Structures are given as structure tokens and as C-alpha cells.
């Protein structure tokens, strides 16, 4: 399940930092600024296996990956409280700390920022970072809604600065192998897909993911289910949302505890054997998945996607964090036999680059640095893709009868 996976990732990366010596940093290494200390979850200190934040803990997502990258240094970290920022700077070896986000963005030495504020603040701080001349690596979900996404991408283009949504899983070699299998034509055209992401035990009460004004909800937090689907199909937005049913939070009926949706996408003809024009897809997200028989947490339900083709079923187990463990099961529909493949290094895009111990976040950082340095990254998430992702989320919310997440007041100003 998602929370356990993320906790394990942060613990593994902390261990890897001990096992693999840090490389010597380049003299002109890029200087990273981190906005927010609220989501840092120490793998060495208060390690909380179930109640860590799936929107991203800074240590696992950027701090540990930076340790193994020769061209990035931990330069500055900001918090609303100056003493808190100073404490984290000392603990994680940042060169500077700031008692406000504005102060960090005003530092001319900062080359790029990683933003993991609550969802509802993504647009505001990414926008201000671009205005300050910083490149931005922005946590998922990209924004609160498609209106914000379109405005933010436009600002990025006008500023000339790089902006990317941190869908880290798409940078891993296993994700590229999965798509290569689907695109090969060997298994025929795609007929349907099913993707799911759940959490058990439940996200704890009081967590920001239950707050409507901060763009909370299972579909927002577990947006991976839509990402898996669109990635597999090379899809933009769905042709139709056939149905959507939200399980409302008991604390706020505007916030979805769970979401079940059926979508219809138009399949892009990526190979001559793919002759299906439309594909039906289901997604399921749940921030408080029920226990099996009422007593057993569903620890085995890792974020995954199943793709049915003309001749096979292809199942990518643990697509969210394949660096920990994953498999791609290919079941022949005629014989019923299943073969399993996995990939932790290299593959169709990375080839001889990378290490088996690199996390999805480390591969993502590699690509992001390549982009800043003017090199062509092996994989990239364009702004238009993030807009399509948010449009899809909006359409599902509309079909479910729930309101869209609120738009930032900055756009109404």
C-alpha cells in the first residue's frame, strides 16, 4: 500500500546513502532551494511507516537523491518559522536557511526549487518562483485544477524557466520497459486498462489531504492512477467520463475519500498493429481502504495497472515505486501462462546510465538536471501533459458531482 511504500523508500535511500559514497561535487553545481520543511520525514529519526505523507517527503524525494548527484548541492531550505528552517538546515547540511519562502526565492544564488507545499498552494509558490527567475520541480498534483495548470504553464513559457510536475515513477527504467512492451505490437492492440491506488490504514484524521481548501481528496493525492493510465495509452484527456462515483469524507462531503471512475480514451496509433480506436479504462483511488474481513490491512495492494490487449494481459505491479520491488507480468490469453520481467537499470531509454540502487526520484533528478544544463533528458513531462492530467481530474470530479478544487485568489486578482 502507498504509505508503506513511501516509508520504505525513504528508509532504503537513507541506507543507500551510507552504502554508496557521495560523489565529489562539481565546482559550479546547481544550487537547490527547498520550499517547506513540513513534509520532511526523517528516515533516521521519526520514522513513521504508515502515516508519512504520500504527497512527498523532502528527504526521500530530493535530499537523498541530491547526495548522489555530482551536479547538485543542497543550498537553501525555507520554513514559515526561522528556527525550524535552521534546525533542518543543520540536520540535512543545507548551506542556508530562511524563515520565509519569499526570502529563499529572493536569494540570487538559488538555481532551482523543489516545491512540496500542500496541493492548494502549488500554483501560488510555483508562480512566485518563476517570477523570481527560478526553475521549478513541482510536486504532484500539478495544481488545484486545470485553470491553474494552464496559467502556470503559460507563465513558465513567458519566463523562459523550466517547470515540471514531479511524476517520478515515469523516469524509472521499469516504466519505460512497460511502455515498450505495450508499444511493440507483439501483444496486439490495447482493449482496456484498470489502475488503482489505495491506502490502508487510512490517511489519519486532520491530515491536509482531507482539506477541501487545500485541494485535498483521494483523486488529487492518488493522481498516479490517472497517470498510469494516460502513460500506457499515450493519451491526453478522455473522450468521455462514462461514470464516476465518489465516496465522500465523513468530515467534508466535498472531499472524496475514494473515487471510482470509468473513462473512455482514444488510443493513439503508436504502431501498425494497434487498431483499436477507443479504450475503456477504470480507475480506483481510496485514502481509507477497508480491511480484508475487517481485520487485515491490505498491505499487498500496491499502486498498479493492468492492461488487456488482444493477446495478453500485462500487469505492472508497484508502478509507483518500482525501485523497491516490481514485476511486469505478461499472461498469454491463449495458453494462460505468465512470464515475469523487471528492470532496475538501463533499459530502452537510459541504456548504460543509472544504477540499480537509484530510486525513481534519483532518475527524475538526473533528467531534471540534464534539462537545466541544456542537454536532452531521456524522459520529460511537458507542461501540456500536466494540463491534460488536471483536465482529466476536473472532468472526473464533475461527473462524480463533487466541486472542483478551489482556484487560487492570485488568478482572480
Q: Which residues are catalytic?
A: 140
Compute the distance between CA of residue 245 and CA of residue 343 in angstroms, rounded to an integer: 35
Contact 142, 386 (CB under 8 A): yes
Prior bond of 201 cis (ω within 30°): yes
Backbone angles phi, psi at 30, to 5 degrees: -65, 140
What lies within 8 Å, CB to CB, of 140 at 6+ separation is 55, 56, 165, 166, 167, 223, 224, 227
Compute the distance between CA of residue 64 and CA of residue 76 in angstroms, rounded to an integer: 15
Contact 148, 174 (CB under 8 A): no
**CA 202 → CA 187, 223, 288, distances in Å?**
38, 17, 4
Compute the distance between CA of residue 7 and CA of residue 25 in angstroms, rounded to an integer: 28
Contact 55, 116 (CB under 8 A): yes
Compute the distance between CA of residue 135 and CA of residue 110 in angstroms, rounded to an integer: 9
Establish how many alpha carbons lie within 13 A of residue 130's alpha carbon, considering only the half-sphere containing its beta carbon.
Answer: 22
CB atoms within 10 A of CB 265: 23
Contact 335, 256 (CB under 8 A): no
Beta strands in 211-276 (DSSP E): 240-248, 256-266
- For strands 112-115 and 135-138, give the pairing: parallel
Compute the distance between CA of residue 179 and CA of residue 403 in angstroms, rounded to an integer: 33
Amino acid at each position: 500500500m502507498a504509505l508503506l511504500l513511501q516509508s520504505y523508500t525513504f528508509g532504503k535511500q537513507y541506507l543507500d546513502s551510507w552504502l554508496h559514497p557521495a560523489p565529489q561535487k562539481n565546482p559550479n553545481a546547481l544550487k537547490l532551494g527547498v520550499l517547506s520543511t513540513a513534509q520532511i520525514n526523517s528516515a533516521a529519526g521519526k520514522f513513521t511507516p504508515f502515516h508519512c505523507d504520500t504527497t512527498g517527503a523532502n528527504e526521500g524525494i530530493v535530499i537523498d537523491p541530491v547526495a548522489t548527484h555530482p551536479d547538485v548541492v543542497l543550498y537553501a531550505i525555507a520554513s514559515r518559522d526561522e528556527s525550524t528552517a535552521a534546525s533542518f538546515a543543520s540536520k540535512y547540511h543545507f548551506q542556508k536557511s530562511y524563515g520565509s519562502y519569499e526570502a529563499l526565492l529572493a536569494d540570487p544564488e538559488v538555481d532551482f526549487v523543489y516545491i512540496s507545499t500542500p496541493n492548494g498552494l502549488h500554483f501560488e509558490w510555483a508562480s512566485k518562483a518563476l517570477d523570481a527567475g527560478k526553475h521549478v520541480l513541482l510536486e504532484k498534483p500539478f495544481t488545484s485544477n486545470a485553470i491553474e495548470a494552464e496559467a502556470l504553464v503559460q507563465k513558465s513559457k513567458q519566463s523562459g524557466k523550466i517547470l515540471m510536475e514531479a511524476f517520478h515513477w515515469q523516469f524509472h527504467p521499469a516504466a519505460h520497459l512497460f511502455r515498450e512492451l505495450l508499444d511493440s505490437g507483439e501483444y496486439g492492440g490495447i482493449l482496456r486498462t484498470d489502475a488503482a491506488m489505495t491506502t490502508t490504514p487510512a490517511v489519519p484524521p486532520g491530515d491536509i489531504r482531507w482539506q477541501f481548501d487545500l485541494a485535498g481528496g483521494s483523486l488529487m493525492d492518488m493522481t498516479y492512477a490517472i497517470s498510469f493510465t494516460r502513460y500506457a495509452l499515450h493519451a491526453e484527456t478522455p473522450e468521455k467520463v462514462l461514470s464516476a462515483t465518489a465516496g465522500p469524507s465523513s468530515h467534508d462531503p466535498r472531499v472524496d475519500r475514494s473515487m471510482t471512475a470509468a473513462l473512455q480514451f482514444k488510443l493513439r496509433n503508436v504502431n501498425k498493429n494497434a487498431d483499436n480506436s477507443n479504450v475503456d479504462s477504470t480507475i480506483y483511488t481510496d485514502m481509507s481502504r477497508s480491511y480484508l474481513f475487517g481485520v487485515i490491512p491490505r498491505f499487498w495492494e500496491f499502486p498498479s495497472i493492468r492492461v488487456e490487449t488482444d493477446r495478453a494481459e500485462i500487469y505492472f505491479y508497484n508502478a509507483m515505486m518500482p525501485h523497491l520491488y516490481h514485476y511486469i507480468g505478461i499472461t498469454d490469453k491463449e495458453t494462460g501462462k505468465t512470464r515475469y520481467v523487471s528492470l532496475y537499470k538501463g533499459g530502452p531509454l537510459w541504456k548504460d546510465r543509472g544504477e540499480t540502487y537509484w530510486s525513481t526520484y534519483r532518475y527524475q533528478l538526473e533528467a531534471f538536471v540534464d534539462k537545466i544544463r541544456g542537454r536532452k533528458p531521456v524522459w520529460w513531462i511537458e507542461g501540456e501533459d500536466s494540463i491534460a492530467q488536471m483536465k482529466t481530474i476536473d472532468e472526473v470530479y464533475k461527473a462524480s458531482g463533487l466541486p472542483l478544487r478551489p482556484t487560487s485568489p492570485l488568478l482572480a486578482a
